[in-house]
Structure 1
């Protein structure tokens, strides 16, 4: 895909996540805490609402319309206007539409629709980088860390170094870029810890991201495939 076209598509997708009726951020400390945390009860409540809507609508899902080539992790955005108040009493406190940092989405929409979250902190960092790349026509590559994957020279891009707090741990995750100009979050640290701590049997060549999807409510959005090498070290598994 042409890099400029990809970046424009990415900006549209991120704008879709960040646009709409976002709530005020001048909330109380307690409200801000609720807006930052993942609450499994909220996820389950939205799941029940989605299932009830789907049953009543003859199989349709309460989702917003996006482009067909939108990243699979953010493709099926939940439209709360179709759920509240008939199927859901109120918006979750951490939903972006209420000022929170999570966009509620549907994962595996075709086979087993499951409510998941996308961390909008990552979306905002990606947007900052993509906007700068659009201005400069090409990302400022710094160091190659894998085939087709580079770190960014933030100084040349006129940006402070950017990272994203992991939705799975206390780690701060770097943002790197593909040779196609795709800014991505580097989840290798979290994946390595998961494999080591749980002694998970992984075959080289197998994408590791489903390990996160199965165990957490937050999706590994803005990423490329990862696998392990023969030494069980997590590595990028990406080809343009």
Structure 2
């Protein structure tokens, strides 16, 4: 084999590597990471640490929140405290604190503290829509870009008024496209009605929830994720309905 042959092989390898690298650059970072879940062992490890911390201290390693903080954003894990007290040597790479795309949260904090994840890419997309709605309202004497009625307390958003194309927001539970909804104050949410309907259809007839249960529990029960930017859902005439309280 000649030297020229090896040079040609090396050139092919380099070009191939450049093609792979460039193909990654063709996609926005949020598209690459939106549905990339952390390894299951990372979640299980954090759960074990939280359990041990609570056993040792009688407390949960969570950051302070306010009464206004939404339920599925409320109890973020305080990794800095866990590091300072030598409960963890390193923070998971997928955590926000390490530049990752997830908040690590605790739900069922009083009865069965359980580690779940909040998708920050999806959350930020909703925040961007929220900013556009506020800018429109500020420029139109408080008027909102209201679309059609979706639930008694919510409407769709008229994206034509915002001069925006309606975004494609993918559910972390089913992969389906989620719609955005808005309350009378202009607060923007994701509508998980389709996801919840699917979860209800999988239940045995004898296990149907009552009309007081928050149906979002059906989504988190069999997932490591929480419903980002979601309203409360309860059964109304046998169908899931988004509610403000």
Output the TM-score relative to the length of structure 1.
Answer: 0.76
Preserved contact between residue 35 and residue 99 of structure 1 (Cα < 8 Å): no
Task: Specify the alignment match of 2:79 in structure 1.
Answer: 80
Task: Specify the alignment match of 1:234 in structure 2.
Answer: 240
Greater RCO between the two (CA within 8 Å, min separation 6)?
1
Worse-superposed segment, 89-98 or 46-55: 89-98
1:107 aligns with 2:114: no
Bigger CA radius of gyration: 2
- Distance in structure 2 (CA, Å) of the matches to 1:233 and 1:90: 44
Q: Give 1:144 shift.
A: 0.8
- Distance in structure 1 (CA, Å) of the matches to 2:119 and 2:96: 10
Equivalent residues in 2 for 1:67-216 (5 A)?
67-84=66-83, 86-137=86-137, 138=142, 139-199=144-204, 200-216=207-223
Task: Specify the alignment match of 2:11 in structure 1.
Answer: none
Residue-pair matches, total: 209
- Distance in structure 2 (CA, Å) of the matches to 1:195 and 1:35: 23
Q: Give 1:34 shift.
A: 11
CA-to-partner distance for each residue in 1:111-133, whole Å, 9 max, x for gaps?
33221111112210221122123
SS across alignment from 2:160: helix
- Distance in structure 2 (CA, Å) of the matches to 1:52 and 1:193: 36
1:225 aligns with 2:224: no
Pair 141,107 (structure 1): closer, same or farther in 2 beyond 3 Å:
same
Give unmatched runs, 5+ long, in structure 1: 1-25
Give unmatched runs, 5+ long, in structure 2: 1-24
Q: Give 1:63 shift.
A: 1.8
RMSD: 2.7
Output the TM-score relative to the length of structure 2.
Answer: 0.74
SS across alignment from 1:76: coil
